[in-house]
Amino acid sequence: MALKGRVLYDFHSENPGEISITENELVTLFSEEELEGWLEGENSRGEAGLFPASYVEIIRDHITSSTNNNGFSSPKAKTQTPTHASHPSPDSQSQRGFGAGSGGSSFHTSQGSDDDWDDDWDDTSPAADAPQGFGSSPPLYPVTTSLPGRGSAQQQQQQQAKSSATVGRNLNRFSTFVKSGGEAFLLGEASAFVKDGDRICVVMGKHGPEWQEDPYPFTCTIDDPTKQTKFKGMKSYMSYGLTPTHTNIQVNRRYKHFDWLYARLVERFPVISVPHLPEKQATGRFEEDFISKRRKGLIWWMNHMVSHPVLARCDVFQHFLTCGADEKAWKQGKRKAERDELVGANFFLTISTPAVPLDLQEVESKMEGFKTFTKRMDENIVVVNATINEFAHKQMAGFKKEYQKVGQSFKLLAQAFELDQQAYSAGLNKAIAYTGEAYEAIGDYFAEQPRHDLDPISDLLDLYRGHLANFPDIIHVQKGALTKVKDCPKQEGDLHDRCNIISCATLAEVQHFHRTRVRDFRSQMQHHLRQQIGFFQKITAKLEDALQRYDDGQ
């Protein structure tokens, strides 16, 4: 018997392969299974094709249940509806990254499940990040990758809303302490078997507690993504070739794999700032720009991952980096990671601390200082980012225009002079015309330059804004533990030990953040200045070339 659906909202097809459907129309569904947010079927006029799954309510025997009765349009949300109820309860998901993250950055987590993989939703669907639909207005529907620009107005609005400094705005502080597992651990409720390989060491360094260094450091390259298609070419996605140096074997990963990994890491490490993934949907209008921007973002992300002593070594990341094309091995590792017991509260069981416990008062003061630091840094990099972006824009528009106008006017001068046919004038005329061209070229140099020296700074600032959005929660976990210790003087012994573990891990992470920050900003500023020097030298060379021309005809 053919599966039927009732149309909830009008949908007008805009692309080949889509069909239009009208509210209250009955449609025949070819399958209950969604293709990245789309269903395939036939409308009452006999047209067959795709339409948004969220626009249709599937009609079942006696039980009428909307495909998507909570109005969510993202596949993530859909996995929580009755029709897709075959996976872990939502409570087991990490909520971190939604608290401060949803206000402070555009990065997100994704829940892991086999359904997610099979469902295989589109990487570049803007709907996945779009606001949820409420009331009777139609939800946003997924957009095919052939239309990268759609939905960008909403995205831009979101971007704008995110552009203010946000550290410290977590309204859900107490629950973070609870949800992270910090509280459970502190109260001695955590329990799991910790293998030696899972042990994470905090050592006492010159500047305080720090993560023990990775004895086998490695890096990982990310190649230009290649476009892959499926569903008879109707849907496409990008695949990235990753080559970690410790295996030197390339593996192919899609954005959704990164997304899945990110969710695992956030769940696994309550007081570690997992670098945010680059935005799911770029605001740029051109697919090429978007791909290039995302790849750069992923490279930044990867560099942060491999340079973190704890993240770089953890099983799920290693599985991600090393598992080849064997689908079975991949799923095995995937399930293992999703069933990992050492998440949340149990994470703290894996921490080995230095022999001498920390002075908790000193820890408190350090954390206060760090809180102030992150707040100021977040505020100021918002300004830096805005300034740099405006500067880039000015160079690409105004500066270019000015130099080109001067170039054109010199060429006009040369044109007037060329009316004088005397031999002694010819050399000068050519030289002035060449000077005009040189100025036009300099205009182009100005327009091209920002992508070489301002965009990378902007990318770095984006990454750090992600970290700064993570830290309020991390600070809160430590602060929650400290408060608990103060509140319960009776159990001080054990609580104190466990608070020491949380504090050691937190301070180690803070230390790591500072070191990485100094390293990254130093190298990025150096890169910027070297690029700028090269840029001005290029201009100088062009002008010297032009100057040379005035000697020729003399």
Distance CA 134, CA 231 (A): 31
Q: Is the Cβ of residue 47 or residue 364 nearer to a copy of itself in the bound state?
A: 364
- Contacts of residue 187, defined as CB under 8 A and 6 or more positions apart, other chains included, come to 484
CB of 151 to a copy of itself, least distance (A): 31
By the 10 Å C-beta count (0-12 exposed, 13-18 middle, 19+ buried), 29 is classed as buried
CB of 509 to a copy of itself, least distance (A): 15
Q: By CB under 8 A, tell whether 416 contacts a copy of itself.
A: yes
Binding mask 477-516 for a copy of itself (x = CB under 8 A): -------------------------------------xx-
CB of 28 to a copy of itself, least distance (A): 59
Query: Secondary structure of the chain: what % helix, strand, coil (to 5)?
Result: 55, 10, 35
User: In this chain, which stretch among 85-93, 302-310, 398-406, 478-486 interacts with a copy of itself, using CB under 8 A?
Assistant: 398-406
256 is in an annotated binding site: yes
Q: By CB under 8 A, tell whether 399 contacts a copy of itself.
A: yes
Q: Is the Cβ of residue 179 or residue 542 nearer to a copy of itself in the bound state?
A: 542
Q: Measuring CA to CA, which residue among 554, 468, 388 is closest to residue 169?
A: 468
Q: Is the Cβ of residue 22 or residue 532 nearer to a copy of itself in the bound state?
A: 532
Q: By CB under 8 A, tell whether 381 contacts a copy of itself.
A: yes
Residue 306 CB: number of other CB atoms within 10 A? 20
CB of 374 to a copy of itself, least distance (A): 9
313 is in an annotated binding site: no
Phi, psi of 241 (to 5 degrees): -90, 120
Q: By CB under 8 A, tell whether 388 contacts a copy of itself.
A: yes
First to last CA, the chain: 92
Strand, helix or coil at 421? coil
Q: What angle do CA 176, 179, 180 make, to 5 degrees?
A: 80
Q: By CB under 8 A, tell whether 16 contacts a copy of itself.
A: no
Distance CA 150, CA 39 (A): 19
Site for a copy of itself in 420-479 (CB under 8 A): 420-425, 428, 431-432, 435
Q: At what angle do helices 327-338 and 315-322 cross, to 10 degrees?
A: 170
Residue with tokens 């359904």: 115
Q: By CB under 8 A, tell whether 390 contacts a copy of itself.
A: yes
Q: By CB under 8 A, tell whether 203 contacts a copy of itself.
A: no
Which ranges of 449-491 would DSSP assign to H, the alpha helix? 450-453, 455-487
Q: Pairing state of beta strands 251-254 and 226-230?
A: unpaired
CB of 391 to a copy of itself, least distance (A): 5
CA 37 to centroid of chain Cα atoms: 21
- Contacts of residue 205, defined as CB under 8 A and 6 or more positions apart, other chains included, come to 511
Q: Count the residues in the chain.
A: 554
CB of 358 to a copy of itself, least distance (A): 17
CB of 165 to a copy of itself, least distance (A): 11
254 is in an annotated binding site: yes
User: In this chain, which stretch among 168-176, 320-328, 335-343, 374-382 interacts with a copy of itself, using CB under 8 A?
Assistant: 374-382
Annotated binding site: 254, 256, 294
Instruction: Give the residues lining the site for a copy of itself (CB under 8 A).
Output: 207, 369, 372-373, 376-377, 379-381, 383-384, 387-388, 390-391, 394, 398-399, 402, 405-406, 408-410, 412-413, 415-417, 419-425, 428, 431-432, 435, 514-515, 517-518, 521-522, 525-526, 529-530, 532-533, 536-537, 539-540, 543-544, 546-547, 550, 554
